[in-house]
A and B are shown apart, each in its own frame.
Chain A
């Protein structure tokens, strides 16, 4: 057994492959946070008064809050005054009008990441709103989408061009008072993506954002707002990576989804931020609030996430099932290796009649990784015939990792049907040896076993993403076999 543990350790020891750093001139605000910084961010983005006031209200509210302590994660105290709250590549000042205006170093960064920013996109059928340290660099496919009336742009641009929509929907799912990190985000968010699909329009391509944290000591505070109007459909992909650093970086994003009557939103995330080194130094602190609101009848929101990165992952993509017959789905693969910690799950809040929710959570823990599923299923008094199915599976690799499941169920209507299944298994020496005795090398065997475990989630990802997700799991777990 000892040698097996050792072997697994080697397997999971392969380093972070996206740890490069792009030398760019950046426009960074001095560290620290006060009202002036909030005003400065707002001013730099030339925001209307309602935005500035909203930020300030959030900041003032934030001052009254304390960091949440209820999750299972542990980390040294975060010094919020040591963070710079705004960093943008300098070239943005003149505003790049086309790819030719974009700093070549930055384009090379995307190339290394495999983000298709240029013509390749057309082939891939992906429109990318690339977020490079807080400011959208280039938004592609905008014209094509505009023909259909679809708005897909950076958040800053939406504030300028579509202030009425922003004003109507911003904070309507995640209010600025929601929680410590969402409130902080509301005060200082720098940019993000905005998407509006008009009534009856089916968005013809997968929309995608690629987040990447680059500068030292900058928190990244993204804000994403997606609205699918009546009968609209959109599938949205979010991918994240960050370069390697010794210090920890804070990421506190907010994503709000709104599905009106008969609308459907699919939101998929592949998160591969720097997880810290083998001793647990460095890595991203990822405190994210994601919530969707099935506001209209027969609407549907699906979250699919593959979380392989970050030192800490704290996120609970949730769905408020307001509309009658609305459907909420959450599918998650969360992998923790070395000293990574993940406390993730979902909330399904059933308010409307005949609402349905499905939760599939796959947690993989290796090394000293700690993995917790935390989920709430709530059925309100008037939510007749609500149904929920929850399945939580944990896979352990080695003998120093941990997996926990914290399901919370609150049912106030007797017609509800709530099911919960949970399992914990270990990648055993047995499975590994079985594959090896068929000529399959240990790296391929681990990858095969883990991908089998995650199959139910991967099959929900768009094809290109499913492939990327499989590779990521491979990269995160494989190591050189001696």
Chain B
């Protein structure tokens, strides 16, 4: 489904990604791990189409197409979803309004009729219940005044509604207490399907206790330096990132 070949990207002429190679098939869950500054979030944002990053070399194929040619909204409509590490606040815009606009943009793109208010509400309430979220969150302004946990759940709610083909979760587990982590993990696990690929970008192993990945990749200084099965994450947890890239990457224990 996704094939990344020798991807280089920089911001303000500062190279961040220095040759990423990664292939993700439908039905697979991949974890991308690595110390702070290794390029994990950059990779997630480049895939979603953030234009503050410049792709300087390499290519990305998504479902047989050149992904880098598409605008962020086209990527979203084609089934890519990015759960933000820091979900953005939009004052004055009701959460439900954003959700509806997002769903209908996608449906329109696929040539489907837009959902009317009733159908939409029924769908949202169903997902909301699954995520253990209060209905009141629908009518509050997008992410404004949400707690850290509410913001992350809201991202997973959006993912559940948009049913992406490729979901990229950027440190969705960070800042969550254990209960919230379980809810979020259950939300992700429920999304697992033979038709869908999921990339979990994470600093810690603990999310992977609940969502067991098929493959684990370790990023350091903009390159994938090691790939393996779920056991790689456990080994990382035990030995720290210093084991991967002694001296240059900070230790897991020192990370915030």
Contact = CB atoms under 8 A, between A and B. Distances in A.
B141 interface: yes
Contact of B88 (A3, A434, A455, A456): A434
Contact of A438 (B71, B92, B105): B105
B109 A439 contact: yes
A442 B73 contact: yes
Interface string B200-225: 00000000000000000000000000
Given A438-B158, A441-B73, A431 B102 contact: no
Given A434-B87, A435-B98, A455 B92 contact: yes
Interface in B43-72: 48-52, 71-72
The CB with the most chain A CB atoms within 10 A, among B52, B81, B109, is that of B52
B76 A453 contact: no
B90 A437 contact: no
Given A4-B51, A448-B97, A439 B92 contact: no
B93 interface: yes
B20 interface: no
B71 A436 contact: yes
Nearest to A423: B91
A451 B102 contact: no
A34 interface: no
A438 B98 contact: yes
B73 A453 contact: no
Contacts of A1: 52
Interface of A is mostly: helix
A52 B198 CA distance: 80
A451 B50 CA distance: 24
Contact of B49 (A428, A436, A451): A436
A10 interface: no
Given A433-B72, A436-B76, A439-B77, A452 B50 contact: no
Contacts of A444: 101, 105
Interface string A430-464: 11011111111110100011011111100000000
B90 A448 contact: yes
A206 interface: no
A434 B73 CA distance: 10
Nearest to A425: B91
Given A433-B72, A439-B73, A453 B92 contact: yes
Contacts of B98: 435, 438, 440, 448
Contacts of A431: 88-90
The CB with the most chain A CB atoms within 10 A, among B89, B93, B97, B98, is that of B93
B72 to A, nearest CB: 4
Contacts of A4: 51-52
Contacts of A441: 73, 105
B84 A434 contact: yes
B8 interface: no
Interface in B107-143: 109, 141
Nearest to B109: A439
B181 interface: no
A442 B72 CA distance: 9
A436 B88 CA distance: 12
Contacts of B52: 1, 3-4, 429
A431 B84 CA distance: 12
Contacts of B141: 452
A456 B90 CA distance: 14
Contacts of B191: none
B160 interface: no
Contacts of B18: none
A444 B93 CA distance: 12
A437 B71 contact: no
B106 interface: yes
B223 to A, nearest CB: 25
Nearest to B81: A437
Interface string A267-285: 0000000000000000000
Contacts of B105: 438-441, 444
B68 to A, nearest CB: 14
A440 B51 contact: no
B90 A440 contact: no
A360 to B, nearest CB: 12
A441 B71 CA distance: 9
B91 A433 contact: no
Contacts of A435: 90, 98, 101
Contacts of B77: 439
Given A4-B52, A433-B50, A433-B72, A440 B92 contact: no
B72 A436 contact: yes
B93 A439 contact: no
Nearest to A448: B93
A448 B50 CA distance: 19
Contacts of A430: 88
Given A434-B87, A438-B105, A440-B102, A451 B73 contact: no
Contact of A437 (B49, B91, B93, B101): B49
Given A434-B84, A440-B73, A441-B73, A452 B93 contact: yes
Contacts of A436: 49, 71-73, 76
A102 to B, nearest CB: 41
14 contacts: A433-B72, A434-B90, A437-B81, A437-B82, A438-B76, A438-B102, A438-B105, A439-B77, A439-B105, A440-B98, A448-B90, A448-B93, A452-B91, A454-B92
Given A435-B90, A438-B73, A438-B98, 4 more contacts: A429-B52, A436-B73, A448-B93, A452-B93
Q: Which 4 A-B pairs have the closest CB atoms?
A: A452-B92, A452-B93, A439-B76, A438-B102
